[in-house]
Amino acid sequence: AAPLIMVGPGTGVAPFRAFVQRRVRLKRQGATPYNAHAICALFFGCRSARVDHLYAEEWTRAEAEGVLLPTPVAFSRDGPSGEAKTYVQTVLGRPAQAETVRALVQAGASIYVAGAAGSMPKEVRKAV
């Protein structure tokens, strides 16, 4: 399996849940080879850390299973204390995440973007 890079602000993250669930199931079933080439990276954004952090526990479990890289979350309204409004395209542009994206693309990753149809997809494309 090839690596996946998934960008899903808000409810746009819903289809990526199935991708991650499938990879977790395959890994548990002992699919071979299952290694770093099958890793998933999710970039998720929402307005409120308290209200909109969809499937947070599920992402944490997938990270623990070694299927999903640690998921940076962009909160556009009420993120962690002292953090300014952040959007997924902002997170993608951070040096550590940009390096992760580059490495996964070089390993043959597919990039999927779902969610808002406004300027976000264009901004994500620039960031990647």
Instruction: Give the pLDDT mean for 49-64.
Output: 87
pLDDT tens-digit readout, 66-100: 889 988 888 887 765 556 678 888 888 889 999 99
pLDDT for position 80:
59
The DSSP secondary-structure symbol of 35 reads: S
DSSP-derived pairing of the beta strands 40-48 and 73-78? parallel
pLDDT for position 32:
60
- In 52-65, which positions are buried (b, 16+ CB within 10 angstroms) versus exposed (e)? bbbbeeebeebbee
pLDDT for position 60:
93
* pTM, full prediction: 0.84
Residue 92 backbone dihedrals phi, psi, to 5 degrees: -60, -30
Tokens 């997924």 appear where? 88
